[in-house]
Structure formats: C-alpha cells, structure tokens
Amino acid sequence: MKWTSTALRIALLLATTGLVGWYFGKPAWALCAVLLALVLHWLMQMRRVQNWLQQPQTPPPEIYGIWGDLLSRIYIQQKKGREAQARLQSTIDYLQDSFAYMRDGVIIVDEQGLLKWFNSPASELLSLREEDTGQILMNLVRAPEFSDYFNEGDFSEPLEYSVAGDTVTWVRIEITRFGDGDRLLFVRDITSAIRMEQVRRDFVANVSHELRTPLTVISGYLGTFLGDADNLDPRYRKAMGQMLQQAARMENLLKDLLWLSRIESGKGLEQHSLVSISALLAELLDELRSAEPERTVNVHLETEYQVLGDYRELYSAVSNLVWNALKYSPEDSPVEVHWRKQDGLYQLSVSDHGIGIDSMHIPRLTERFYRVEDSRSSATGGTGLGLAIVKHVAATHGAQLQIDSTLGTGSVFSLIFPDRGEIVEQHPTAASVA
Ligand code: ADP
C-alpha cells in the first residue's frame, strides 16, 4: 500500500469527522476524538510490529494498511537474507567437507591471526589440537621461520622448513588471503621430495668426486705425452691435443658440479661473515690480469658496503658473471663492473657489449646446462653451470639475479642485495677504475 493512499484516507477521515462534528456543532471535539483513536491504533500496530521484530523468523501478524505493508517487506527481505546465508553456509560446509578429506593440511585463520578451522593432516603436521581453535596460530606453531613468513605478509613464494619432532619432517606452506583479511593455509609434507633431492645431490657429488681422480690421471698422462710432442707420431698429436682439451672441459664440469652441490647443501651458510666486495673484486682483477692480460675490466666502486655471506660463494658468483661477460664479448671490448647503491638496494652489475641474448632465452638461462646455442658454449669451453651457481649463491644470500640483455648489443647481469642490515657501511669511496 502506498503512503499517498494512506494519507488520502486519513485526510478523508478527518474531513468527514470535521463535517459531522460541524453538523453537531462540535467540530474540534470530533477531530480530537478521531485523532486520538488514530494515534491509539498506530501505537497498537507499532507494538505488534515491535513484538514481531523480536522473533522475525515467525510469519508476520496480519496487519492492514501501511504498517502491514512495511512488515511484509521486512519479512521478505529477511527471508531472502536467511536463504542467502543458508546457501553460503552450505557452500562453506561443502568446502570444509572437501578440505577435511584433502591429503594436504588446510588451516583457516581470521584477520587477527586466530585459528578458525583446520583439518586432520594440518593437525598432524603442525601438532594442532581441537582445543587450539580460537587461539593465535603464531603461538601454536612455534617455528621462527613460520613467524617471520607470517608476519612479513609476502606470500608470493611458499615457505619450506623442517618441523622438529621425533623424526624430521619438512613442510611447505602456501598462504592465500581471502574475505576481510582471512587467510587460507595449505600445508604439505615434502619430506620425501627433500630426501629425493638430497639423494640426487649426494649422487651427483659422489660421482663427480669419483670421476675426478681418473680424469686427473688421464689428463696428466696426456699432458706428459704432449710435452714430448717431438717424439709423438704426428697422426696422434692432434687427437691427443683434443683429448687433453676435452679432459680439461670435463675437469671444469666436475669442479662446477661439486661446487654447485656444496652450495646447495648450504655448508657455506655456516661460515657467514662480512664480505668486502671491493676486496673480492680486487682479488678477481688480479686473477684476470694473469689469465687474460689482453682484456680490460673496469671496476667502479661507488660504495664500500659489506655483504654478510660466504666469501668463496660470492667470489664464484661474481667471477662467473665477469668470465661470461669476457667470453661472450669481443676481445677489444671492455667489461664494466659496478658496485653501488640504487633505490635503497645494493647492486653489483657486470655489463658487456658482446653478443647479447635473445629475450626468449632469458627466463631459462639459470637452469643447469641450459645454453642459448650449443655452439656458443662449446666454442668458449663453458660448462652450462655458471649461471645456475650464480642464481643459487644469490638465493642463499637473499639477493636477486637480474638479467637485461639485447641480442647483438650486450648484457647486464646484476646481483641485487636487499638492505636488511646485512650490509654494513664502512667508508664510501669515490669511483675507481682498475
Ligand atoms: P656457460 O658455461 O655455457 O657459459 P652459463 O650458465 O654461465 O654457462 O651461461 C648459460 C648461457 O647463457 C651461456 O651458454 C650463454 O649462451 C649465455 N650467457 C651467459 N652470459 C652471457 C653474456 N654475458 N652474454 C651473452 N650470453 C651469455
């Protein structure tokens, strides 16, 4: 019922009452009586509405007029709301049911970090109990790695860590935000994958180690024979030269494989200390001066900050980048090395004006044995492991490897270290060229 028709009816009632009252000579009394009756009627209706609003699930009382209209509208809206809520609840129940049967752990945490729900794999993996629901998850999962990850709030990469217990269990945690800051955690047991990876790493390390000794003997004899080349049958001289060259390649390969598995095992991390990048570059320049006296490498030191890490690992990463820059650029083209602070980050960049790399190869460059073209690396004697080593060293030092390259123009490989207090300022110096 529209309010205009109600107003019209009231106006009609008042007019009629006024007329009747005027006929009996008491129009004011008549109007007052009708108005009083009207107010009483509305008060009663309001009371019925109020009573019903206290139990809105029950059907609304039969009320006519504008109050009845109002009531039925409220009732319809509430019914719709209840239906929507029921649908939502059944979806939540359905999702929780499916989460409950998942083999991975699932945990729901609200925006305050309170544990709302978890399934039984999550309870097994993270030792959660039923009575923990409603408590702060951080206080229940007492692992510093987990607290740091959860507090930092950057969930773009999953977290992997070992859970202390009777046996060591490795878990991978992925977090997704939903709703009003709620978080959904997927917890997966990755112990067997980690063990397999360890077996693979040990196998590669052992094989590389075992192959080194026979290879040293082979290249040793070849070197001896070629040292006495005059007494060597000319038919064998060239073949033996190539054998020695390939043996040297294999030795380099084994050396890189052993080094990679050492870095992957995280042994270097145990000996973290402040590493002076300027001292590291000075040592590298010394090495290059004797190995490649014809080549020019310009070092620009714009900061004297020190990186907390493993000197040998960082040296191998920077040395791989500089050697690549030399290998893949013309003999007369200089290589530039910059150590500077840029946009609050510390950047070690190695740039060359060499052959460059097509952008389609860049995402795969750091894969083991990935080569842009086989001919490139065989010509330069590369092992295909250099950038894999660089990437791994960067990861263990919290740094990023950035590659910018244009085919035919040159490349810039940068190691970007975060400003986490890991890098300590000493005495900034002006740029120097070596
Ligand atoms: P390799 O031992 O073959 O050099 P890396 O892992 O060091 O192996 O490099 C992978 C590939 O990336 C190389 O085969 C080469 O094609 C390319 N590459 C690396 N550095 C450069 C560079 N500075 N300029 C051009 N190409 C490069």
Using a pLDDT cut of 70, give the percent of the chain over it: 93
Mean residue pLDDT of the chain comes to 87
Nearby residues of 194 by Cβ (< 8 Å), 6 or more positions away:
160, 170
Atom of ligand 1 minimally distant from the CA of 383: 2
Tell me what the mean pLDDT of segment 174-200 comes to: 91
Q: How far is the CA of 324 from the centre of ligand 1 (A)?
A: 6
Mean pLDDT in residue range 157-168? 87
**How far is the centre of ligand 1, averaged over its atoms, from the C-alpha of 296 (Å)?**
19
pLDDT in tens, 127-143: 999 999 999 998 999 88
Q: CA-CA distance, 300 to 325, in Å (whole number)?
A: 16
H or E segment and range at residue 165: none
Categorize the per-residue pLDDT at 380 as very low, low, confident or very high, splitting at 50, 70 and 90. Answer: low
Instruction: Report the nearest atom of ligand 1 relative to the CA of 350.
Output: 23
**pLDDT value of residue 254:** 92
Share of the chain above pLDDT 90, in %: 51
Ligand 1 probe mutation, 316, 335, 352, 357, most atoms within 8 A of CB: 357
Closest ligand 1 atom, CA of 373? 16
Output the residue whose Cα is nearest ligand 1's atom 4. 382
Amino acid at 222: L
The pLDDT value recorded for residue 431 is 35
Residue 198 CA, ligand 1 centroid: distance in Å: 27
- What average pLDDT does the segment 344-366 reach? 94
With a 6 Å cutoff on the Cβ, whether 361 touches ligand 1 is no
Provide the 10 A C-beta neighbour count for residue 233: 8
Q: Whose CA is nearest to atom 20 of ligand 1?
A: 324
Model confidence at 420: pLDDT above 80: no
Give the pLDDT confidence score for residue 41 in this predicted structure. Answer: 86
Strands 115-118 and 105-109, bridge-based pairing: antiparallel
Q: What is the pTM of this model?
A: 0.67
Asked if the model's pLDDT at residue 429 lies above 90, the reply is no
Looking at the DSSP assignment, which residues form a beta bridge with residue 197?
A: none
- Can you name the residues that pair with 174 across neighbouring β-strands? 186
**Predicted confidence (pLDDT) at residue 274 exceeds the cutoff of 80:** yes
How far, in Å, is the centroid of ligand 1 from the Cα of 280? 22
pLDDT, residue 389, reads 95
Q: Which residue CA neighbors atom 8 of ligand 1 most closely?
A: 384
Task: Give the number of the atom of ligand 1 that is nearest the alpha carbon of residue 385.
Answer: 6
Write down the pLDDT at residue 430: 36
CA 248 to chain CA centroid, nearest Å: 40
With a 6 A CB cut-off, is 387 part of the ligand 1 pocket?
yes
Asked whether 21 lines ligand 1 (CB < 6 A), one says: no
Residues 14-29: tens digit of each pLDDT: 899 989 889 988 888 8
Q: What phi, psi does 335 have (nearest 5°)?
A: -110, 135
Q: Strands 410-417, 182-189: parallel, antiparallel or unpaired by DSSP?
A: unpaired
Q: Is the CB of 410 under 6 A from ligand 1?
A: no
Q: Which of 268-272, 281-285, 389-393, 423-427 has the lowest mean pLDDT?
A: 423-427
Alpha-carbon gap, residue 88 to 94, rounded angstroms: 10
Tell me: pLDDT of 284 over 90. yes
The pick from 260, 329, 333, 387 for probing ligand 1's pocket by mutation, whose C-beta has the most ligand atoms within 8 angstroms, reads 387
Taking the C-alpha atoms of residue 82 and residue 294, their distance in angstroms, rounded to an integer, is 82
Write out pLDDT tens, residues 34-60: 899 989 988 888 888 888 888 777 777
Closest approach atom of ligand 1 to CA 370? 10
Q: Is 279 a residue whose pLDDT tops 90?
A: yes
Q: How confident is the model at residue 422 (pLDDT cuts 50, 70, 90)?
A: very low
**Ligand 1 center–CA 209 separation, angstroms:** 25
> Which one is predicted more confidently, 161 or 376?
161
Answer whether residue 378 shows pLDDT above 50.
Answer: yes
Could you tell me if 240 and 220 are in contact, meaning their C-beta atoms sit under 8 angstroms apart? no
Query: Which ligand 1 atom is at minimum distance from the Cα of 377?
Result: 3
- Residue with the smallest CA separation from ligand 1 atom 14 is 371
Q: Which residues pair with 340 in a beta bridge?
A: 347
Single-letter residue type at 227: G
Give the number of the atom of ligand 1 that is nearest the alpha carbon of residue 256: 2
User: How close is the Cα of 371 to the center of ligand 1, in Å?
Assistant: 7
CA of 356 to the centre of ligand 1 (A): 9
Buried (b) or exposed (e) across 415-426, using 16+ Cβ within 10 A?
A: bbbeeeebbeee
- Asked which of 151-155, 265-269, 335-339 is least confident by mean pLDDT, the reply is 265-269
Ligand 1 within 6 A of CB of 325:
yes
Most confident of 175-189, 228-242, 370-384: 175-189
365 Cβ closer than 6 Å to some ligand 1 atom: yes
* CA atoms of 213 and 220, how far apart (whole Å): 10
pLDDT score for 118:
93
Q: Is the pLDDT of residue 411 over 60?
A: yes
List of E strands, 149-248: 159-163, 169-178, 182-189
Mean pLDDT on 376-389: 78
Residue corresponding to tokens 């000996």: 271
